[in-house]
Amino acid sequence: MIIADDHVMFREGMRPFLERLAPEVEILEAGSLAEVMGHLGTGGAVGLVVLDLKMPGMVGSAGIRKIKDAHPPVPIVILSAVVDRLQVVESINSGASGFIPKRLSGAAMLSALQLVLAGERFVPYLALATDDEDGGGETPMPKHSANLSMLTRREKEILTLLKDGLSNKTIAGRLTVSEVTVKSHLCSIFRKMGVQNRVQAIRCFLGGDL
């Protein structure tokens, strides 16, 4: 796992969260794109790259594409102090699996990284709160309005936690239910809202009235 940021203190601050994410995995540090490519070029298996967009060598999302072109299977998560919708969309379109605002709490950041490692995408909900075209290959949002009043109280609770970027496991812990129960509720939520995934559900939530 690689944490890439040109601020040493930030990298050191991220280490405890990454160690909780995967205690048995070696965490490598990089302060530039060249150092990231150097770590990836050693031949060792890297399960995740946590990347700052504004560090030497990045030149916007071109750095993301360079990493993905050379190492397609490696998931990339962007950590950024600024959440700009165009930048988020460009990052996802360039191959990033997630875009995490640095202002997120430690628990929410950990949940977002867990989502990415589980094969899902994480996009900050504030970047989705428009009617513009979706980025990153997501299925377009259904044009009809979902009837959010059909959701049960528990489903609304889960949807609210989903909006905060929490994983199924974390939501289950918060609500003292099993992860299977959370997944079952999510299937019901998606069906009632007329959506296909978490991102669409969050957008619908933000545009609706619970």
The parent domain of residue 34 ranges over 2-128
Backbone angles phi, psi at 30, to 5 degrees: -145, 145
**Number of domains present in the structure of the chain:** 2
**Which pTM value belongs to this model?**
0.62
Which residues of the chain register pLDDT less than 50? 129-146, 209-210
Q: What is the DSSP letter of 208?
A: S
Verify that 100 and 13 share a domain, yes or no: yes
Assess if residue 74 is contained within a domain.
Answer: yes
Per the DSSP assignment, residues forming a β-bridge with 78 are 51, 99
Q: In which element (H, E) is residue 78 found? A: strand 76-80
How far is 193 from 170, CA to CA, in rounded Å? 23
Q: In which element (H, E) is residue 4 found? A: strand 2-4
pLDDT tens digits, one per residue of 161-190? 888 778 888 888 889 888 888 888 888 888
Verify that 164 and 72 share a domain, yes or no: no
